[in-house]
Amino acid sequence: MNFCRPAVFIYLLVLVTQGRAEAPPDPTKLGPFPVGVTTVVLVDHSRQDEATNGPRTIPTEIWYPATDDAKDLPKNRMSDFLFSGQVPSLLLAVKTGFKVKIEEIDARYKNLAVRDARVRQGKFPLIVFSHGNGGMRFQSTFWCDYIASHGYIVASCDHTGNSAATVVNNKIVIHNSKAREKHAADRPKDVSFVIDTMLRYGKGEDSRFAGKIDSKQIAVAGHSFGGYTAGAVINSDKRVKAIIPMTPVFGPGVNEEVPMLLFQAAEDATIGNEGNARARKYFDDAKADKYFVLIKDAGHFSFSDMGQFRPDFGDGIGKGKRVTQPDADIDYLALDKVFEITNSYSTAFLGLYLKGEDFYRAYLEKNQFPAEIDFAFTPAAGKTTAKPEEKKEAVATP
């Protein structure tokens, strides 16, 4: 399946006419587009929600390529994700949970996005990100921002009742830790409903996104319980063409046909060695193209923004205890390096499998960070791929 050759041919023709050659885009670098972000509240009237005694309601964040004027506009604040402080009980819940004032987080908060910036012209693949157990829709902006800058629309919902805290009809809904089986059933349905809604937006239901969503190129990523969600949704929603689970919690089941990039943290104290073994078995059993990245000195929350909430959060942020060597201390790998590894491999993976950008194959099929990661790549049974050193084509940046 080599659907990218026309794009490569056109670019090579441009090179000939211009008399110059350009290097392939570097996935370790930020993409060419400014990033916008907006909040929407999605209501699935086909499902009744015990958490709210009403239709299933999932606040959702959308990151997207923005117009160039966004480069000069103020960046989004963390409190903007909390409905700009309009629900005091939600601010109190965050302050209590993280033991830090919202104003302190805002003062040091870093992200790329501009709230409600204009959406750029173009048609972009759709990615749905699923947060972890007790997480939040904005828990991994390091990833959502970065991916959007490379020309994707990224939607991430609060899984109401399983998020740390969210707001439905101006009332706070907190995490129900006793309803895990229900959450496991709700989550894939939430993701599919987000896809349904985003595709309707692309058809004109939301004029900002009209004509700008590629309905044929969809992927799902997720952290922890969100990694499980990515694996579960492909069993019921065949629109999903690729998945990126990060430190996932997996149950039984086999990924028969969907390409996968799986991230693990060797020192994950949340799911531990047993959880990592289950995730590795899921990877080993998968039948489609699959890529495995084990970050040696990372922990469970290395794949999140929790370091912006509390620099001593632990289990991947700051200091902790090793899982691979009981009672041994660890200074977890710097988050900037974890983010570089995660973002670059994700950019290459999505570029190859959603956009058909074959030049990313050379990056994707090799261990680019041998000091920090263990790496494995296995193509689908019966499939061969060009070796990275054999790839000669030069390609343009977006």
What pLDDT is recorded for position 9?
Answer: 45
Q: What is the pLDDT of residues 285-307, one digit of tens each?
A: 999 999 999 999 999 999 999 99
Residue 327 counted as domain residue: yes
Q: How far is CA 60 from CA 42, 45, 99, 235, 379, in A?
A: 7, 16, 25, 23, 34
Whole-prediction pTM: 0.90
Residue 95 counted as domain residue: yes
Q: What is the pLDDT of residues 206-226, one digit of tens each?
A: 999 999 999 999 999 999 999
What pLDDT is recorded for position 17?
Answer: 38
Residue 398 counted as domain residue: no
Residue 162 counted as domain residue: yes
Residue 389 counted as domain residue: no
What pLDDT is recorded for position 25?
Answer: 87
Question: What are the structure tokens assigned to 101, written together?
Answer: 């004032």
Coil vs helix vs strand at 138: coil
Q: Residue 261 belongs to a domain with what CATH number?
A: 3.40.50.1820
Residue ranges making up the domain that contains 302: 5-380
What pLDDT is recorded for position 5?
Answer: 47
Mark out the alpha helices in 266-328 (DSSP H runs): 272-285, 306-309
- pLDDT(65) > 90: yes
Domain count, the chain: 1
- pLDDT(21) > 70: no
From 162, 164, 140, select the one nearest 301 (Cα to Cα).
Answer: 140
Per-residue pLDDT, averaged over 179-190, amounts to 96
Residue 390 counted as domain residue: no
- CA–CA distance, 13 with 355 (Å, rounded to integer): 19
- CA–CA distance, 209 with 334 (Å, rounded to integer): 36
- pLDDT(16) > 50: no
Helix 225-233 to helix 180-200 angle (10° resolution) is 60
Please tell me the number of Cα atoms within 13 Å of 26 on its side-chain side. Answer: 7
Rounded to a whole number, what is the distance in angstroms from the first to the last CA of the chain?
22
Per-residue pLDDT, averaged over 359-366, amounts to 97
Instruction: Select the more confidently predicted residue: 391 or 179.
Output: 179
Residue 391 counted as domain residue: no
pLDDT band at 363 (very low <50, low <70, confident <90, very high): very high
Instruction: Select the more confidently predicted residue: 20 or 286.
Output: 286
- CA–CA distance, 227 with 221 (Å, rounded to integer): 7
pLDDT band at 384 (very low <50, low <70, confident <90, very high): low
- CA–CA distance, 241 with 11 (Å, rounded to integer): 25
CA-based angle 249:254:259, to the nearest 5?
Answer: 90
Residue 317 counted as domain residue: yes
- CA–CA distance, 197 with 204 (Å, rounded to integer): 11
